[in-house]
Amino acid sequence: MKLLRYGPEGQEKPGILDGEGRIRDLSGHVSDIAGEALTPEALAELAELDVNGLPLVEGSPRLGACVGQVRKFVAIGLNYADHAAESGMAVPAEPVVFNKWTSCIVGPNDDVVLPPGSVKSDWEVELGVVIGKTARQVSEAEALDHVAGYCVVNDVSEREWQLERGNTWDKGKGFDTFGPIGPWLVTRDEVADVQNLTMWLDVDGKRYQNGSTKTMIFTVAELVAYCSRLMTLLPGDVITTGTPPGVGMGQKPPVFLKGGEVIRLGIEGLGEQSQTVRR
């Protein structure tokens, strides 16, 4: 299933894509694509629905973040060896874990607004993992059983705040609009091999990132298991799993967002995003 949320900001309704790529309304069955609606039992009930019998949503409404009411937005840094190299940092022996504040979450095609005084804002296409079952101290072998599905994330980052303002990564990662998520949550059963998905990102039509989840240092299963040792993961929590090379910081010379650019990004089978950058 491809689950989504559509409508004006703060008034999003739950939806699902039908076989022709049209949005069908799920309001009669769930109140939101969030929390307990993402448990295995709830997803099994949705899977039994006759999608073509659901109300058709006309037009092309705004898409909100594909997960609502996110309680934790956990991020992983330096999870691709070639990205660590372009960042001038060592390949980590254990996952680098930080937070993106949930207030940064926006829809996949909403504007990215640079914070006042930003001089080093950057892009990062990433695979997002949406938790569907409470995970606490789970093993790697059972970790994926706790995953509801996957989505595209743009881990927008202000590098000066991230790396030069006290060395606390969270500072540069959680500005408002720095967490576009979506367009859809693709349930785990529809992703044959999460460790073999191509991913890409363009800025103003120029391809900067072109990678694959197969080059992750720590797999999705390893990351879910590891994070479950640090915190209790709850249904609807999101883990964004790191980026392949090609970020602005790694260009020679570096390229950072000034405002006015259009960012397009996507992951195989999970859809595409497009954001206009503004100040």
The class that CATH gives domain 73-278 is alpha beta
**Cβ neighbours of residue 173 under 8 Å, at least 6 residues apart?**
75, 98, 99, 100, 101, 104, 155, 157, 158, 162
Supply the pLDDT for residue 88.
82
Supply the pLDDT for residue 90.
83
**Cβ neighbours of residue 150 under 8 Å, at least 6 residues apart?**
127, 128, 129, 130, 185, 186, 188, 191, 194, 267, 270
CA atoms within 13 A on the CB side of 19: 4
Mean pLDDT for back-to-back runs of 10 residues, the chain (279 residues)? 98 97 98 98 98 96 98 96 80 95 98 97 98 98 98 98 91 97 98 98 98 96 98 98 96 97 98 97
Supply the pLDDT for residue 167.
80
Residues of the chain with CATH 3.90.850.10: 73-278
Supply the pLDDT for residue 166.
87
At 157-185, the pLDDT tens digits run 999 999 999 888 999 999 999 999 999 99
